[in-house]
Amino acid sequence: MTAWWHRLSGPAKFRVYSRVALQLGLATVIVVMAITAGLSWSTVGIVVGGIAAIVAVEVQPEFAISPGAVSRRWALPAAVATLAAVWLADVVVARRATSAATVDQARLTGVYAVVLAMFAVVPFFRHKVWTVLGLSVATGLAFGTSPATALGTAAGTLGFGGFVLGTTLLTVWGLRVVEELDRAKGVEAELQVAEERLRFARDLHDIVGRGFSAIAVKSELAAVLSRSGKADRAAAEMDEVKTLAVESMGQMRELVRGYRGIDLMTEVAGARSLLSAVGCRLVVQGDPANVPARFHEVAAWVVREGTTNIVEHSAATSAVLTLGAAGMSLRNDCPHGPAGERSGLRGLAERLAPLGASLDVRASPDEFTLEIHWESK
């Protein structure tokens, strides 16, 4: 259970907490109602109504502890009908009973049935306020033996029912806010990816477009010179075309390999920004200047790949990047499962091998650590 909980993202944890808290709250209300009613026939009505209320909450997608376990098609109408039947049965008992104690017990059970409906059913109706008012007035009229009793019953039902209704509505509101924030984080991450793609496309256009334009012009000029019999000038132009092609290919390789070079300071700043966008706080220990110059580029790649792993394979809320003369490490909490075989980590190991550096990966249910060792010479 602990490992399962740690694998959940923050919004998922809040959803689970809200669902369990609401169901436990409803169960607590039912137990309190049963205790206050005493061991009598009304206890059966409260228990039956309580079970119907729990089922009514369980069929709501926002609060289902086991989604899909209960069919909304039949369960919700059955729960509503059960609560209505309990209420009507209490009305009949209250109207036909001759004992004042029986009337009071029937009135209490009927009010409880309405409150359970306000807790588990009414919050998901369209016109909630009018439904609460209508149920309160109907309960007061049905169980009131006098104007004062009817008014007191209606007021008590309205107060108690309004409180539990507000509790459910606040929980629904909190869940929807968290859902919106989670969706906004996803949109922000997608926008950052799209922005990076646009930047890459712009850089690629600047490098390749300029080179290819020059190649096209010089090739056309060489063809004209060749047809006019100026072979030496045509050959010179073709030599320049070759030089331009080689330079453009080199620039394109550099762009693809590192987006016109990869800088450790820039990657650290970018990692902090990206992780912050997904709700993870990055703490940097040490100074990039401590990393030996020959390892700056590969350290930047480690930061980039490690950041990508955190975003894609964890629900981390905190990460720590340590930079030193003998190596570096990047660790984060809340990983999603074991490390497994990740192509990015394999690519990092291939980059490190020619430099004599080593990659060490440690994973547990609570933490994932990426550690690099090198010798500063």
pLDDT digits (tens, 9 = 90+) for 71-95: 567 788 888 899 999 889 988 888 8
**297 within a domain of the structure (yes/no):** yes
Is 70 exceeded by the pLDDT of residue 69? no
pLDDT (0 to 100) of residue 327: 92
Instruction: Tell me: do 162 and 219 sit in the same domain.
Output: no
Q: What are phi and psi of 333, to 5 degrees?
A: -95, 175
The reply to whether 318 and 210 lie within a common domain is no
Output the average pLDDT for the chain.
82
User: What pTM was estimated for this model as a whole?
Assistant: 0.52
Copy the structure tokens of residue 153: 């019953």
pLDDT of residue 320: 95
- Work out the end-to-end distance of the chain between its first and last CA atoms, rounded to an integer number of angstroms: 47
Dihedral angle of Cα 186, 192, 198, 202, to the nearest 10 degrees: -170
Angle value at C-alpha 13, between 8 and 16, nearest 5 degrees: 120
In CATH, what number is assigned to the domain containing residue 343? 3.30.565.10
Would the pLDDT of 305 be above 60?
Answer: yes
Q: How far is CA 75 from CA 23, 60, 68, 117, 224, in A?
A: 16, 10, 12, 14, 84
Same domain, yes or no: 162 and 253: no
Residue 1 lies in a domain: no
pLDDT greater than 80 at residue 292: yes
Identify the bridge partners of residue 284 per DSSP, sorted by sequence position: 321
Name residue 323's beta-bridge partners: 328
pLDDT, tens digit (0-9, with 9 covering 90-100), for 252-266: 777 766 554 567 888
Mean pLDDT of 293-317: 85
Pairwise CA distance, residues 263 & 258, whole Å? 9
Sheet (strand 281-285) strand order: 281-285, 318-323, 327-333, 367-373, 358-363
**pLDDT band with cut points at 50, 70 and 90 for residue 68:** low
pLDDT tops 60 at residue 59: yes
Helix axes 147-204, 231-258, angle to 10 degrees: 150
**Residues 126, 249: one domain?**
no
Identify which of 237, 345, 243 has the alpha carbon closest to the alpha carbon of residue 301.
Answer: 345
Q: Whole-angstrom Cα distance, residue 88 to residue 364?
A: 57
Q: Is the pLDDT of residue 332 over 90?
A: yes
Structure tokens at 370: 């990426």
Instruction: Using pLDDT thresholds of 50, 70 and 90, give the confidence band for residue 168.
Output: confident
Residue 347: per-residue pLDDT: 75
Percent of the chain with pLDDT over 70: 89
We report the CATH number of the domain holding residue 226 as 1.20.5
Q: Answer yes or no: is pLDDT of 368 > 80.
A: yes
Structural domain harbouring 146: 8-181
| Overall domain count for the chain | 3
Q: Compute the distance between CA of residue 282 and CA of residue 296 in angstroms, rounded to an integer.
A: 20
Q: Is the pLDDT of residue 323 over 90?
A: yes
What single string gives the DSSP state of each residue in 212-234? Answer: HHHHHHHHHHHHHHHHTT-HHHH
pLDDT digits (tens, 9 = 90+) for 16-27: 888 888 888 888
Identify whether residues 105 and 61 lie together within a single domain: yes
The band of 282, judged by pLDDT with boundaries at 50, 70 and 90, is very high
Query: Residue 282: in which H helix or E strand, if any?
Result: strand 281-285
Does 165 lie in the same domain as 41?
Answer: yes
Is the pLDDT at 294 greater than 80? The verdict is yes
pLDDT tens digits, one per residue of 81-132 = 999 998 899 888 888 887 888 888 888 888 888 888 888 888 888 888 888 8
- Indicate whether 336 and 201 sit together in one domain: no
Of 12-16, 21-25, 273-277, 362-366, where does mean pLDDT reach its minimum?
273-277
| 186 falls within a domain | no
187 in a structural domain? no
Give the integer Cα–Cα distance in Å for 279 and 239: 54
